[in-house]
Chain A
């Protein structure tokens, strides 16, 4: 049981909004909002070059952070290979993005409410044999177009860039892309290659989130003492 608890994913922006990490996510939200003046950044894709750099954590916390600022937010788990959103928000994964794209359910049925106000979740759905084709389908474009009408912010969690092509496809349908880079884990040439993959599909790079930074190396530490 204890191991299950420790493995359980939690969103720090919800459980501890006053921590410096939550503050960092609020800063991320602000930086995204201000990264574009003329265009509205509505569909934000989160990806990384390799696996386990914190895409799902960043997308989940970012979505929660937007929701807490009274925006209507949808988090889509487009990682159809290793989905996690249903675990993070303890939701059923019976229906989700894959069932919506394969026309088994309607949009309403693919979206579930989370226990956070304003935050809706579209889980991955059952893992399909052909995730890349699903992402590239016209149906996917239409779904995103439809969702734009319903939500203020849509955050899409995707598989790693260098492993599969899914993220590249989704990037072309998004307004902005955030690349998560795990501190001291990603080599320069790997990161450059990942960025080149995004550039090739004309993705709009908003910037990088440096994740897993060591406490000492971060200025965010000082938030602890500010305003407490």
Chain B
């Protein structure tokens, strides 16, 4: 009769007992997440350009693709990825495009560079609260990068594959906040918190509740279990053998208190 081990029914009982607590935590957390994602958090848009790294034919003696050359370019991309995110490029951008009104550090946070493995293409992504601004910034960075790279590397091997459209025919949706994802995360996290709190409370509750508890901790038998009695139950369903107490007469209460 050990109460140390919980069986599955006990888990259900604990959850059922604190269902209101769990549900209210979940509802409140989801509401907060929903309001935050929909009304408080500013939407973030994303614009990207693709840059291809390739030797221009004028620099190459043989006007054909050389595997070695391609490999060198792929290696170079890793270097370029870092270079874009340095003040060497971004300082120039902030200087040449004062209309963006951003500092180099802010720009650094907005820019993300990635490349697909074993290709000579790298993708430049900028996130901003306005789509057209994001597109303008990403175009500006690509352009500056293309201009600056010969002075840094002494090679002319960068060309812009595609520019971001500043005013696309179909307005792209924001990438952030993802309302559904945020709600889903809030739901799961709050459910876990609710369950955690329920089980913690149950674990902390060391009051006597069952005959087994009494037997285990007091070593005494339980003679009777008396249920809580509702007010209506004192007379409900009372049979003919009922011996109801006479109702209290006026003045009798004074007898009672006078004796104290």
Interface residues, chain A, with chain B CB atoms under 8 Å away: 4, 6, 8, 10-12, 14-21, 24-25, 27-28, 31-32, 35, 54, 58, 86-87, 89-90, 92-94, 115-116, 125-127, 178-179, 181, 183-189, 191-192, 195, 205-215, 217-221, 228
Contact = CB atoms under 8 A, between A and B. Distances in A.
A208 B245 contact: no
Contacts, number: 166
Interface of B: 205-211, 213-214, 217-218, 220-229, 231, 233-239, 241-246, 248, 252, 255-256, 258-260
B208 A24 contact: no
B223 A35 contact: yes
Contact of A92 (B222, B223, B259): B259
A188 B245 contact: no
B227 A218 contact: yes
Contact of A218 (B225, B234, B236, B241): B225
Contacts of B210: 217
Main secondary structure of the interface of B (DSSP, over half): loop
B229 A12 contact: yes
A14 B243 contact: yes
Contact of B256 (A35, A54, A92, A184): A92
Contact of B220 (A89, A179, A217, A218): A179
A22 to B, nearest CB: 10
A178 B243 CA distance: 26
B227 A213 contact: yes
B10 to A, nearest CB: 12
A87 B256 CA distance: 7
A220 B223 CA distance: 13
